[in-house]
Structure 1
Amino acid sequence: MSKSATFKHQPLKAGAISWQLAQTFWVGGLWLLHFVMLPALDKIGLAPLLIEEIANLLRPLLVGFTAFCALLQLLVLWQAERPVGIWRDTRGQLLLAVLAMAAVYFAVRAVAPEALRWLLFNYLVLALCGILLVLQPPPGQGR
Structure 2
Amino acid sequence: MRSSRSVISKPGTRDAGAISWLLAQTLWVGGLWLLHFLLMPAIAKIGLASLLVEEISNALRPLLVGLAAVCAGLQVSVLVRAERLSSLWCDTRGQLLLVVVVMAGSYFVVPKLLAGTEMWLMFSYLVMAFCGLLLVLQPVPHKNRA
**With structure 2 as the length reference, what TM-score do the two structures score?**
0.87
1:66 aligns with 2:68: yes
In the other structure, the counterpart of 1:124 is: 126
Q: Which amino acid aligns with 2:23?
A: L
Paired amino acid for 1:126: M
How far apart, CA to CA, are the structure 2 residues paired with 1:55 and 1:47? 13
Unaligned runs of 5+ in 1: 1-8
Quick one: structure 1 residues 25 and 130, their matched pair in 2 at CA, closer, same or farther if it must change by over 3 Å? same
Can you list the C-alpha shifts for 1:121-143, whole angstroms capped at 9, x where unaligned? 1100000000000000110189x
Q: Deviations over 1:65-116 (max 9, x none)?
A: 1000000000000010021233201000000000011111111222235321
Q: Tell me the residue number matched to 1:14.
A: 16
Contact 2:83 2:143 in 1 (8 A): no
Q: Report 1:29-44 matches (<5 A).
A: 29-44=31-46
Partner residue, 1:109? 111
Contact 2:103 2:124 in 1 (8 A): yes
Amino acid of the structure 1 residue aligned with 2:25: Q
Aligned residue in 1 for 2:5 = none
- Count how many residue pairs are aligned between Structure 1 and Structure 2: 134
C-alpha separation in 1, matches of 2:114 and 2:30: 27
The equivalent of 2:84 in structure 1 is 82
Q: Distance in 2 between matches of 1:141 and 1:79?
A: 8
What is the alpha-carbon distance in structure 2 between the residues aligned to residue 91 and residue 116 of structure 1? 28
The structure 2 residue matched to 1:134, chosen from 120, 131, 136, is 136
Task: Tell me the distance in 2 between the aligned counterparts of 1:128 and 1:12.
Answer: 26
The SS at the match of 1:83 is coil
Separation in structure 1 between the aligned mates of residue 130 and residue 138 of structure 2, nearest angstrom: 13
Aligned to 1:97: 99
Unaligned stretches of 5+ in structure 2? 1-10
Normalised TM-score (structure 1): 0.89
Aligned to 1:3: none
What is the Cα-based RMSD across aligned positions, in Å?
1.5
Q: Equivalents in 1 of 2:70, 2:47: separation in Å?
A: 34
